C-alpha cells in the first residue's frame, strides 16, 4: 500500500488501479508510485453492516478535486440502500480515517459523491466502508454525461470531480419532488425562412430534419434574424426526432433565442438554463431535460453539459466570445466541449456568429465542417456602410473637438440622430481608467503597490486599480509634475463629453455595472463597452461609432486582431443596412488588416489569413499549447518533472502579472508555455497531469495553474 493512504476506503493498487478502481485519466502506468497487484476480492463490510444481496459494491466518485485522488473508490452497499444506490445517484460517503480493531471505519470526513457502477467484487481485500447515505434516488449522472466529463478532464489535464461541478448543478430537494410534464410530440419540420439567404442553408435544415449529423461553420448575416435562424435549426432537429442544445455567451442572447423558439414552437418544448433563473429554478429546468420532458435546451456556458436525450444538434453562437471560456479549473472552452460531445453522441454541429474564429477556420480548412455563408451580393445588401478615420483627423468645429471625435464621426452622428439612435462603442469602462503625467507622459502609479491609477469620476479621488488605495496628493515620481492627462478615456467620460456636444439628445450607457438589453428606436446616443451593446428596437441603429480602435488592436495578445474584428462586427451588425442609411465609422488605422476585414465585411477571409500566420509560427490552433503559471520555484519543479512527447517545445518561463483575486499585487509569478505538434494534445495533457500529481506528492501543494489551449496568449 502507499504510505499515507492506508486509511482510504477501498484502497488497493492494481494494474492502472488506485483505490480499487481504474485510474481516472488512464495514465496510471505513467506514475512511478503505481505498481502491479492484486486479485479481486469478495466484498466484506465493516462489522454490523448487512451487505446488499445483489452487487454489494458501489464504485463511487468522491467529490474531491485533488489530482492525486482523481479516481473511483469502492464502498459497501447496505441492503437498506440497495434499491436507491443505483449508478448516477448522489451519495454521502466517509472518506479517509482508518480501520479500527473491530473492522469499523473510524474518523474521516463525510463527502458527497456519485455512484458510477454497482459491482459484485472489489479490488480491495479488506473490509469496505459502507455508503453513509443516498442523498437522492434521482439519476443525475448518466453514462453519456460521465463519458463527456471524463473526456473533458482528460483534454484539459483536470480532475473528473472538477468537471462534474461544472456539469451537474447543485441539488434542490423541492425541485426533485415535483413531477415533470409529459414530453410533447415532435413538431413539423419548419420552412427555411431566412436560411434561404445562405448557400446550402435549406439543405442544412433538411439534413437536420432527416436525422443526419451535418457539421457547419455559419457566418451569420448582420441584422436581427439570427435568433430566428437558430430557432429553425432547433425545430428541424426536433422534427427529426432528436434533441437540440444551444449555447450562447450571455443572458441577453439567451433571451433572444428563447423568444424566437417560443414564437416558432410555442411553450413546453425547450428549457432555458441560465444563472439568472436562480439555483432552484435552474435545477428544476435541468431536471426536465434530464428526465426527457423537453428535448431542447438553451443556455449559457454550463448548458453545454445539459443532459439532452438523443442529442441531434449542438449549436454554439459566437464561439470567440471570452464568456465561453470557463474561469474555473480545468478551464474548459464551450466550443471544445461541444465538439467532444458531438463526436461522442453523433450529433450535428453548428458554430455560428457574425465573425469567425481561427479555430472555426481550421475546421473548414480540414474539411471537418462545411461553410454556411451568404453570397457577396447578399452581404452588401444587408450590411451597413463602413467608413474609416484615424485618430489624427481633426474636427472642423468646436463641438466636434469637445467630443474628441474626428469630423467624419461627428457629422455621421449628427445626421443619424435625425433618424434614430446612434451606438458609440468605447473599449474601456469607467471614467478615466488609465492616467499619465501631463508633462512627461509617465504612467501614474500607486505609491503603495505600484499599480496604475484611475479616475472613477470627474470629481473623485484617484484610486489604484490593483489595491484600491485612494491617492489624493499625487505627483509624478519622474518629473515632479502635479498635472495629469487621460491616456485612456472610459465610457463615462465619453458620455459626459458627447452630452456636451449634443445637449438636446438623451445619452444612455451600457456596461459592466448596468447592461441594457434593448433601447428605444428613438434618437439617442447609446454608449456601450464591447459586449454590452443593447439591441435598438425597430430597424436598428442609424449609425455606430467605434472609438479608440488602437485600444483593441494594440493589446499584447495573440488574438488581438481576431478579437477586434469580432467586437466591431458584433456592434456593426446592429446597424441598419447601407440602403437604409446605416453607417459605421471606425476610428483606427485604415490599412490595418482587421479594419479592412470590417470594411469589406469579410470575417472568413480575416480568419483564414490569421490561420496562415499561425501555421507559419506554429501557434494554436495549429499546434497544441498549455500554459503553466505560478511562483518561479513551483513552475521550475513542474517543468523538471514533465515528461513530454518528442518534439515538444518549452517557451519561457517569463515573468507575468500576478493572478491573485481582485488583481491585487502578489509575489512574483512566472509563466511557461509548452507546445506540442498536432495529434499530441492528449499526450501533453496526460504528461502535465502526471507531473502535477508527482509534484504535489513530493513537494507539497503550492499552487500552479495549468491551462490547456489558453485563449489569452500575450
Give Cα separations from 79 to 45, 105, 563 (angstroms): 11, 18, 58
Residue 161's CB is within 10 A of a number of other CB atoms, namely 24
Mark whether 238 and 365 lie in a shared domain: yes
Cell, residue 604: 472568413
Assess if residue 148 is contained within a domain: no
Query: Helix 201-209 to helix 226-239 angle, to the nearest 10 degrees?
Result: 30
CA-wise closest residue to 291 among 175, 161, 187: 175
* Residue at a domain's end among 308, 343, 376: 376
Closest CA to 356 of 373, 341, 368: 373
CATH of the domain at 638: 3.30.70
> For 260-284, what is the mean pLDDT?
92
Report phi then psi at 455, rounded to 5: -110, 110
Domain count along the chain: 4
Which of 76, 111, 141 is at the close of a domain? 141
Is 22 found in the same domain as 115?
A: yes
Q: Which of these ranges, 167-181, 235-249, 593-607, has the smallest mean pLDDT?
A: 167-181
Quote the CA–CA distance of 709 and 676 in Å, as a whole number. 11
Question: Contact 209/239 with Cβ under 8 angstroms?
Answer: yes
User: Contacts by 93-101 with C-beta closer than 8 Å and gap 24+?
Assistant: 93/9, 93/60, 93/62, 93/129, 93/131, 93/132, 94/9, 94/129, 94/132, 95/8, 95/9, 95/62, 95/64, 96/7, 96/8, 97/7, 97/129, 98/6, 98/7, 99/7, 99/46, 99/126, 99/127
Can you tell me whether residue 423 is helix, strand or coil? strand
Stretch 586-614: mean pLDDT, rounded?
A: 94
Contact assessment for residue 240 and residue 205, using Cβ atoms and an 8 Å cutoff: no
Pairing of strands 422-425, 543-546: parallel
pLDDT of residue 447 exceeding 80: no
Q: How confident is the model over 67-81, as pLDDT tens digits?
A: 667 889 999 999 999
Q: Is the model more confident about 22 or about 711?
A: 711
Of 321, 261, 343, whose CA–CA distance to 294 is shortest?
261
In the block, which residue shows the cell 464551450? Answer: 334
Last residue of a domain, one of 105, 124, 141: 141
Is residue 222 domain-shared with residue 341, that is, in the same domain? Answer: yes
**Which helix or strand (DSSP H or E) is residue 105 part of?**
strand 105-106
Q: Are 153 and 163 in contact (CB under 8 A)?
A: yes
Q: Could you tell me which of 630, 675, 668 has the C-alpha nearest to residue 649?
A: 675
Do 582 and 648 fall into the same domain?
no
**Any domain includes 104:** yes
Q: Which of 571, 539, 565 shows the shortest CA–CA distance to 224?
A: 539
CB atoms within 10 A of CB 480: 10
The model's pLDDT over 386-429, given as tens digits with 9 standing for 90+, comes to 999 865 554 444 444 545 567 888 889 999 999 999 999 988 65
Question: What pLDDT does residue 135 have?
Answer: 95
Note down the domain range covering 580: 384-430+490-600
H/E stretch holding 378: helix 376-382
Q: Does residue 480 belong to any structural domain of this protein?
A: no
Euclidean distance between the first and final Cα of the chain, in Å?
A: 45
Which stretch, 46-50, 174-178, 244-248, 437-441, has highest mean pLDDT?
244-248
Confidence at residue 19, expressed as pLDDT on a 0 to 100 scale: 33
247 and 344 together in one domain: yes
For the chain, give me the number of helices (H) and strands (E)?
A: 19, 36
pLDDT at 146 over 60: yes
Residue 33 domain flag: yes
Residue 206: what are its φ and ψ, rounded to 5°? Answer: -65, -35
Whether the bond into 330 is cis, omega within 30 of 0: yes
Q: Is 213 helix (H, G, I), strand (E, B) or coil?
A: coil
- Cell triple for residue 429? 469602462
What is the pLDDT averaged over residues 132-161? 95
Same domain, 587 and 700: no
**Same domain assignment for residues 366 and 392:** no
Q: Are the beta carbons of 436 and 488 closer than 8 angstroms? A: no
Residue written as cell 445619452?
A: 507
Closest C-alpha among 268, 271, 265 to residue 246: 271
Q: Which of the four pLDDT bands, split at 50, 70 and 90, describes residue 16?
A: very low
Q: Per the structure block, which three cell numbers stand in for 488?
A: 485612456
Q: Which residue has the higher pLDDT, 52 or 191?
A: 191
| 144 band by pLDDT with thresholds 50, 70 and 90 | very high
Residue with grid cell 446605416, as numbered in its chain:
582
Q: Are residues 286 and 357 in the same domain?
A: yes
pLDDT level of residue 202 (50, 70, 90 thresholds)? very high
Give a yes or no: residue 572 inside a domain: yes
Are the CB atoms for 51 and 43 separated by under 8 Å? yes
Q: In whole angstroms, what is the distance from residue 360 CA to residue 342 CA?
A: 15
pLDDT at 8: 30
Looking at every residue in the chain, the average pLDDT score rounds to 84
CATH of the domain at 279: 3.40.50.300
Same domain for 50 and 114, yes or no, is yes
| DSSP of 535-573 | EESTT-BSEEEE--HHHHHT-SSTTHHHHHHHHHHHHHT
Comparing CA positions, the residue from 643, 702, 647, 637 lying closest to residue 677 is: 647
Which 3 state secondary structure label does DSSP give 490? Answer: coil
Whether residue 289 lies inside any domain: the answer is yes
| 483 pLDDT more than 90 | no
The verdict on residue 296 lying in a domain is yes
Q: What is the pLDDT of residue 216?
A: 98
Q: Given the DSSP bridges, would you call strands 90-95 and 105-106 parallel, antiparallel or unpaired?
A: unpaired
**Residue 395 neighbours by CB distance under 10 Å:** 19
pLDDT at 32 over 60: no
Whose CA is closest to 204, among 317, 332, 79, 371? 371
For residue 200, give the C-alpha cell: 446550402
Claim to verify: residue 579 and residue 696 sit in the same structural domain: no
Please provide the DSSP assignment of 112-142 as one string.
EEEEEEEES-BS--SEEPBP-EEEES---S-
Whether the per-residue pLDDT at 660 is higher than 80: the answer is no
Question: Over 60: is that where the pLDDT of 260 sits?
Answer: yes
Q: Is 170 part of any domain?
A: no
DSSP code of residue 202: H
**Pick from 397, 370, 420, 340: which is nearest to 156 by CA?**
340
| Per-residue confidence (pLDDT) for residue 29, from 0 to 100 | 38
**DSSP letter string, 196-224:** GGBTTHHHHHHHHHTT---EEEEEPPSST
* DSSP-derived 3-state class of residue 446: coil
- Residue 397 and residue 415 share a domain: yes
Torsions phi, psi for 218 (to 5 deg): -105, 115
402 and 346 assigned to the same domain: no
Please name the residues in contact with 262: beta carbons below 8 A apart, sequence gap of 6 or more. none
pLDDT higher than threshold 90 for residue 292: yes
Residue 7 scores a pLDDT above 90: no
Amino acid at each position: 500500500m502507499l504510505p499515507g493512504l492506508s486509511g482510504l476506503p477501498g484502497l488497493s493498487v492494481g494494474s492502472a488501479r488506485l483505490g480499487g478502481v481504474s485510474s481516472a485519466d488512464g495514465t496510471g502506468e505513467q506514475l512511478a508510485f503505481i505498481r502491479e497487484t492484486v486479485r479481486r476480492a469478495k466484498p466484506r463490510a465493516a462489522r454490523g453492516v448487512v451487505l446488499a444481496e445483489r452487487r454489494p459494491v458501489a464504485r463511487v466518485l468522491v467529490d474531491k478535486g485533488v489530482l492525486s485522488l482523481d479516481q473511483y473508490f469502492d464502498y459497501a452497499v447496505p441492503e437498506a440502500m440497495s434499491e436507491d444506490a443505483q449508478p448516477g445517484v448522489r451519495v454521502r460517503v466517509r472518506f479517509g480515517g482508518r480501520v479500527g480493531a473491530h473492522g469499523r471505519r473510524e474518523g474521516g470526513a463525510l463527502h458527497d459523491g456519485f455512484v458510477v457502477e454497482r459491482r459484485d467484487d472489489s479490488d480491495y481485500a479488506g473490509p469496505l466502508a459502507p455508503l453513509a447515505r443516498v442523498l437522492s434516488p434521482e439519476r443525475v449522472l448518466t453514462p453519456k454525461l460521465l463519458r463527456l466529463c471524463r473526456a473533458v478532464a482528460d483534454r484539459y489535464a483536470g480532475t473528473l470531480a472538477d468537471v462534474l461541478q461544472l456539469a451537474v448543478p447543485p441539488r434542490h430537494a423541492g425541485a426533485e419532488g415535483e413531477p415533470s410534464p409529459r414530453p410533447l410530440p415532435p413538431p413539423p419540420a419548419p420552412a427555411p425562412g431566412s436560411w434561404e439567404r445562405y448557400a446550402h442553408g435549406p439543405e442544412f435544415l433538411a439534413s437536420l430534419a432527416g436525422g443526419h449529423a451535418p457539421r457547419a461553420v455559419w457566418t451569420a448575416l448582420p441584422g436581427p434574424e439570427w435568433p430566428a435562424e437558430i430557432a429553425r435549426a432547433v425545430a428541424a432537429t426536433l422534427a427529426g426526432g432528436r434533441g437540440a442544445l444551444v449555447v450562447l455567451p450571455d443572458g441577453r442572447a439567451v433571451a433572444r433565442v428563447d423568444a424566437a423558439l417560443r414564437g416558432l414552437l410555442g411553450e413546453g418544448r425547450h428549457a432555458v438554463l441560465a444563472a439568472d433563473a436562480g439555483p432552484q429554478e435552474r435545477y428544476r429546468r435541468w431536471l426536465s431535460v434530464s428526465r426527457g420532458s423537453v428535448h431542447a435546451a438553451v443556455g449559457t456556458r454550463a448548458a453545454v453539459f445539459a443532459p439532452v436525450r438523443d442529442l441531434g444538434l449542438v449549436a454554439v453562437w459566437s464561439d470567440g466570445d471570452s464568456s465561453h471560456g470557463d474561469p474555473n479549473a480545468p478551464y474548459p472552452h464551450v466550443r471544445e466541449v461541444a465538439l467532444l460531445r458531438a463526436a461522442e453522441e453523433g450529433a450535428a454541429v453548428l458554430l455560428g456568429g457574425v465573425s469567425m474564429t481561427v479555430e472555426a477556420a481550421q475546421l473548414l480548412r480540414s474539411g471537418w465542417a462545411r461553410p454556411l455563408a451568404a453570397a457577396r451580393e447578399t452581404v452588401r445588401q444587408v450590411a451597413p456602410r463602413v467608413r474609416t478615420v484615424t485618430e489624427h483627423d481633426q474636427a472642423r468645429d468646436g463641438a466636434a473637438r469637445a467630443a474628441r471625435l474626428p469630423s467624419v464621426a461627428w457629422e455621421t452622428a449628427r445626421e443619424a440622430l435625425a433618424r434614430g439612435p446612434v451606438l458609440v462603442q468605447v473599449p474601456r469602462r469607467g471614467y478615466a481608467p488609465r492616467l499619465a503625467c501631463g508633462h512627461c507622459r509617465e504612467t501614474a502609479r500607486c505609491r503603495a503597490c505600484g499599480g496604475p491609477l484611475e479616475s472613477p469620476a470627474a470629481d473623485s479621488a484617484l484610486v489604484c486599480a490593483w489595491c484600491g488605495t485612494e491617492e489624493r496628493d499625487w505627483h509624478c515620481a519622474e518629473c515632479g509634475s502635479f498635472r495629469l492627462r487621460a491616456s485612456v478615456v472610459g465610457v463615462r467620460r465619453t458620455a459626459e463629453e458627447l452630452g456636451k456636444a449634443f445637449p438636446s439628445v438623451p445619452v444612455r450607457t451600457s456596461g459592466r455595472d448596468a447592461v441594457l438589453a434593448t433601447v428605444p428606436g428613438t434618437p439617442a446616443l447609446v454608449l456601450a463597452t464591447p459586449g454590452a451593446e443593447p439591441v435598438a428596437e425597430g430597424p436598428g441603429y442609424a449609425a455606430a461609432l467605434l472609438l479608440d480602435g488602437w485600444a483593441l488592436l494594440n493589446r499584447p495578445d495573440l488574438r488581438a486582431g481576431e478579437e477586434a474584428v469580432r467586437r466591431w462586427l458584433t456592434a456593426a451588425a446592429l446597424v441598419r443596412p447601407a440602403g437604409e442609411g446605416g453607417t459605421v465609422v471606425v476610428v483606427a488605422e485604415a490599412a490595418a488588416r482587421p479594419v479592412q476585414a470590417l470594411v469589406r465585411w469579410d470575417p472568413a477571409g480575416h480568419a483564414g489569413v490569421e490561420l496562415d500566420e499561425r501555421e507559419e509560427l506554429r501557434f494554436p490552433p495549429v499546434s497544441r499549447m498549455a500554459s503553466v503559471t505560478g511562483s518561479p520555484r513551483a513552475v521550475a519543479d513542474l517543468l523538471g518533472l514533465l515528461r513530454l512527447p518528442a518534439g515538444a517545445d518549452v517557451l519561457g518561463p517569463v515573468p507575468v502579472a500576478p493572478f491573485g483575486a481582485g488583481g491585487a499585487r502578489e509575489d512574483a509569478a512566472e509563466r511557461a508555455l509548452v507546445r506540442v505538434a498536432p495529434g499530441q494534445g492528449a499526450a501533453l495533457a496526460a504528461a502535465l497531469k502526471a507531473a502535477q500529481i508527482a509534484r504535489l506528492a513530493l513537494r507539497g501543494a503550492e499552487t500552479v495553474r495549468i491551462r490547456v489551449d489558453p485563449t489569452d496568449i500575450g
